[in-house]
Amino acid sequence: MSFNVAIDGPAGAGKSTVAKEAAKRLGMIYVDTGAMYRAMALYMLRKGIDPADQEAVAASCGQADITIRYEGGVQVVLLNGENVNSFLRTEEVGKATSVISAIPAVRKKLLELQQALAAKQDCLMDGRDIGTCVLPGAQLKIYLTADSAVRAKRRYDELTAKGQVCDLKQIQADIEERDDRDMHREISPLVQAPDAVLVDTSRKTQEEVVRQIIELCLERR
């Protein structure tokens, strides 16, 4: 049986950065489920489909073939065979993703893919509903969070480091709007699983969080 770690939490809590690093040190695969939802949103945007049009999204999500593969330990998302990694991290795709991820047909399709990945290998999987829906039997569940102001500042620093011009207040407003949508949607809302360990990263360095996750994994393994 594979050893699975579920990491959930709101946007910008640092899940992907710390999960990726912890997985590397533990020799496990890191599965970024947000990237799969982002690839689906990218597909809709490219097709000119309004992400809020539930029927249109549900009708066309079957045509988006999303797979992942690993190149040098890095997760590569393939959308109908094309490596789309470089298109997934924009604010436009992020917003559309939060909208399409509330649609049951989209969740069903990606849930099956995620469960199949976790069944065949030891992995750290991050997202919003991993501990509650995708891997309810995960040996370790972590709920990673941070204040929205801290999360906004981290996102701002990340974007400005890439040379993008952005507004901190706007980013915080977008993060809070996304939290609200992710936490209050009908299907698979973001909630802390009762058996998840709460890790608040607001006043912790990345290294401290990585070490805490590794310690928890070693304890449970």
Q: Are 217 and 4 in contact (CB under 8 A)?
A: no
Task: State which of residues 75, 85, 101, 148 lies at the interface with ligand DC (CB under 6 A).
Answer: 101
Residue 172 binds to ligand DC (criterion: CB under 6 A): no
Q: Are 118 and 99 in contact (CB under 8 A)?
A: no
Q: Specify the stretch interacting with ligand DC by CB under 6 A; choose among 62-70, 94-102, 142-150, 158-166.
A: 94-102
Task: List Cβ neighbours of 61 (8 Å cut-off, separation of 6 or more).
Answer: 40, 43, 100, 103, 105, 106, 109
Task: List Cβ neighbours of 173 (8 Å cut-off, separation of 6 or more).
Answer: none
Residue 182 binds to ligand DC (criterion: CB under 6 A): yes
Give the dihedral sign, CA 7/43/151/183: negative
Task: State which of residues 21, 57, 68, 129 lies at the interface with ligand DC (CB under 6 A).
Answer: 129
Q: Specify the stretch interacting with ligand DC by CB under 6 A; choose among 48-56, 95-103, 155-163, 202-210.
A: 95-103
| Residue 17 or 139 with smaller CB distance to ligand DC | 17
What is the contact surface with ligand DC in residues (CB under 6 A)?
11, 33-34, 37-38, 94, 97-98, 101, 127-129, 178, 182
